[in-house]
Structure 1
Amino acid sequence: MPPTESATVERLSIYPIKSLDARSVDRVEIVTNGGLAGDREYVLFDEDGDYVNGKNDAQVHPISASYDGETARAESVTLSTPDSEPQQFELDSVDSDSSAALTDWLSEWFGYPVTLDRNREGGFPDDTAASGPTIISEATIETVAGWFDDIDAEGMRRRLRPNIVLSGVPAFWEDHLFADRDSRVRFSIGETDLFGVNPCQRCVVPSRDPDTGDEIEGFNETFIEQRRATMPDWSGGDWFNHDFRLMLNTGVPEASWGETIAVGDELTLGETVPADETPVPAE
C-alpha cells in the first residue's frame, strides 16, 4: 500500500560551485536536463581535466564558501580558509578578470593550477543520467547522524549534500520513491513532476569532516552495518548490491523544465512505471 504520511519540502539547497558549500534558497526553477537552477553551475578542473572535488582532494573541505545574489543563481562567492581572510569574487563569467582572480586564489590553496567552467543549463551533476534534484528526509539525516559519535544532524546533512530535505515522514521514507532497476516511481513536488530512479551510491565524502577533511575511522563499515540493520521493508528492489547507498537520485521529464520547487511544497506519490516509458533509461 502507498505511504499515508505527508512529505513536505523542509529545505532546499543548491551548490553553486561543485563540491563547495551549499546555499539555502526558498524556491528554485528546474532547468534543462532537470537540474536546479544554479546547482553545480560552476566546476573546478585540474590540468588533467579531472574534477577538483572532495572525492579527489580533501583540501576542498577547509574552504568556506558563502554566496550572494537575489535569485537562486549566485552572483558572487566569498571564500576563506583557516589560513586566509574572506575574499569576494564575482561569478559573472568564466573568462572575466574576477574569474581569473578566483582561480588564482584556488590554485594557490590547492598547490596546483585549477580552471573554472560553467554550465547554466543543468550544471555538472554527480549522476548524469539521473540529473534531477537529490532527495532525503530530515528523519533519515537525524537517524544516520545517530550512528556516529560527535556528528549532529546539521553535520550529517553537510556530509550528504542533498538538494531537497523532506519533513513529515519517518526515516528512510524516500526509499518509497524508487523501485527496481527496470522501473521508475512517478511523483510530484508542487507542480513539478519527477521520477525516482535509485538510491545514491555514496563515496568517501560523507566519512570526512566537512570543515577539516579529517576522516572517521571505520565510517563506511559502521554505515553499512547500520543501514543493513535498519533497512525498512519498503526499501530494496535490486539496487542494494551493497548497502553504502542513501538518498534518492531523480530525473525530471522535459514537460516540467521551467517549473519551480519551493519550501513548503508537498510531495504526492504516483505510480511505478517501466523505465523505458520515462526519460531516465534502465541501467
Structure 2
Amino acid sequence: MATWYNQSSTEDFVLLGIFTQSPGDLVMFSVIMVVFPVALCGNVLFIFLIYIDLRLHTAMYVFLSQLSLMDPMLVCTNVPMMAVNFLSGKKFISFVCCGLQFGLFVILVGSEGLLFGFMSYDHYVAISHPLHYPILMSQRVCLQVVGSSWAFGILDGLVQMVVVMTLPYCGSREVEHFFCEELSLLKLACADTSIFEKVIYDCCDFMLLFPFSIIVASYAHILRTVLHINSAQARKKALATCSSHLTAVSLLYGAAMFIYLRPKWYWVPSHDKVVSVFHMVLTPMLNPLIYSLRNREVMGELRKVLDHCSVGS
C-alpha cells in the first residue's frame, strides 16, 4: 500500500478523492481552484454591500447576508482539505478532523435549507400582506428566524455527528469521497448500522422536507395572490422578486435531494462526488450573482462603491 497511508495513524481515514492525475481531472481541479476564491470574494462583497447601505437593513437582506455567511463557510469546510490532499498526495484525515468536517457540513447545509424556507415565507408576507410586513417581519422576528435556522442546523449536525462517529471502524478506512461524507462513512462501519441509518435518514428527511414544505406552501399562496393582481406590471414585479430565490432553491434542493432522497439501490459514489462538488463550490459562487444581478438596490450600491474607488484612486 502507498507510503502516505502506512505513515498515518490507525485511526485515520483515507479520502480517496475525486481527481486523478489525468488531464481532464487536472483541468477540473484548476477550475475549482479558480471558482473557490471567486465564491469567497463574491459572498464577502455581498455582505459588505448590505452592511454599508442602511436601505438594505431589512428582513430579506438580513437573510441574504446570513446566506452569504453560510456559503463561504461551507466552501472552506471541504475544499481546502481536498486541495491539500490532491496536491500533497497525503490523503488521510484524522478521526477528530473527520468528525468536525462532517459535523460542520451537516450544520451548514441544514441551516441553509431552513433559511431558504424562511426566505420564501418572507416573500409571501411581502407580496400577500405588504401592509402588515413591518409587523410580521420585524427585526425581532427576523433575528428569531435566523437564530432558529442556526439552532436546528447545529442540533441536526451534532446528532448525526455523534451517531456516525460513535460507530466502530475496524476494517477498511478508505472513504469513497473527497470529504468525510456520512453515507460513505456508514459503509465502513463494522457493525449493524440499520438503526443508525434510519436516524440519519430521518434527520435528513426532516431538514430537507420541512423547509421544502414551507417553500411549496408559501409559493402556492404567492401564486394565488399574483393571479388576483390586475396590473401586469405589478404581477411582473412580484414574480421577479421570487425568481432569484426560486433559482437558488432549485440549485440547493436539486443537489441535496439527489444525494439523500433517492433510492439506496441507485447510490453510485462517482455521482455523489460530482453533485457534491457542484453543491459546495459552484452554488456558493452563483448565489451572490443570482441575488445581485436581478436586484437594483444591490447593483446600485455596488456602482456607488466602484465609483468611490475610482474617484479615490
Q: Relative to total residues, which structure has the larger strand share, 1 or 2?
A: 1
TM-score range, shorter chain: under 0.3
The two structures have a TM-score, normalised by structure 1, of 0.24
Instruction: Name which one, 1 or 2, has greater alpha-carbon Rg.
Output: 2
The two structures have a TM-score, normalised by structure 2, of 0.23
Q: Relative to total residues, which structure has the larger helix share, 1 or 2?
A: 2
